[in-house]
Amino acid sequence: MPVVGWHASHEQIPPSQLLRDIQLAEQAGFQAAWSSDHFTPWSRRQGESGFALSWLGAAMATTSIPVGVVSTPGQRYHPAIIAQALATLAEMFPGRLSAGFGSGEFMNEHITGEPWPHKDVRNARLKESVDVIRAMLSGEEVTHHGLVQVDRARLWSLPEQPPRMLALAVSEATARWAGEWADGLVTIWQPPEMLKKMVAAFRENAGDDKPLAIQIHVSWAPDEDEALNIAFDQWRTNLFEAPLCWNLATAEEFDLAATHVRPEDMRRSVVISSEPQRFVECVREVADLGFDEVYLHHVGQNQQPFLEAFGQQVLPALT
């Protein structure tokens, strides 16, 4: 069975509570964790957005599990700063850090006031940024003039083992491109046929040895209607496909776009059930597709009941 981890959603939960939650997740038996990194939430109902890179230090100091973090270098973050942040965390917590790199969303990046490039340009900027980060983590002094500008940047505090650098992808084309440069792939739950195509596309350029990770949005409650209501309240602004989800700017815009979303629409992207066995089956399904790591994101704001229930009824069934 794959590693089964828990997802820390900074958009929904205050960082102090999220710190307690990751500790509970480890105690419940989750083997790893993944962290979002947003400047703004997806809706006013979510209403939070702590700084993930600050939080990671506390989270890793008070747990022993591996932790990954999403990052979008190139606009909001200069790649040299991301390299320094990752190097510091990896030096303090050897072998436990992963970074998932993506081309980003306007909602987080527009704060710089810079233009929002076309997707092709964002991908090119991301690749330049990753090349800079890799070079700096290897100890090189980097000067680079392109879509990102770097002048004689060198890391003085280096980890013995650099963090894994995975690619975030939700389409075949991005997965195929990511296979050229990433240490692994991170994607989100989709219909099995689409996931099969993404895995095959990534493997075309990456080979068979690089890890595959997937995030599954779930909503669990003792009552099915309650589970559906949690998903509808918290996650209905997260149903939009690209390019819409890439290009909206504010939580208010996402709330407006979700005006006509219905509760039953939530099942398209969230696994909703009151039955623990449904989630066991879901993890087994993606394991059969070749995924090595599965990160479960309970889309509610109160994580403790979910963590306790899954620690008692889901995780033991997956060992």
Residues classed as catalytic: 38, 105
Q: Which residues pair with 82 in a beta bridge?
A: none
Those residues whose C-beta lies under 8 Å from the C-beta of residue 51, and which sit 6 or more positions away, are 15
Secondary structure (3-state) at 42: coil
Q: Tell me the CB-side half-sphere exposure of residue 4, using CA atoms within 13 A.
A: 22
d(CA 308, CA 30): 11
Can you say whether the dihedral through the CA atoms of 300, 303, 307, 308 is positive or negative? Answer: negative
Secondary structure (3-state) at 14: coil
Helix axes 304-313, 276-288, angle to 10 degrees: 70
d(CA 55, CA 30): 19
The CA-based diameter of the chain, rounded to the nearest angstrom, is 58
Site of tokens 């309650």? 226
Amino acid identity at 1: M
Q: Given 3-state DSSP classes, what are the helix, strand and coil percentages for the chain, each rounded to the nearest 5?
A: 45, 20, 35
Alpha-helix runs per DSSP H in the chain? 15-28, 52-61, 79-92, 106-109, 119-137, 172-178, 192-206, 224-235, 244-247, 251-257, 276-288, 304-313
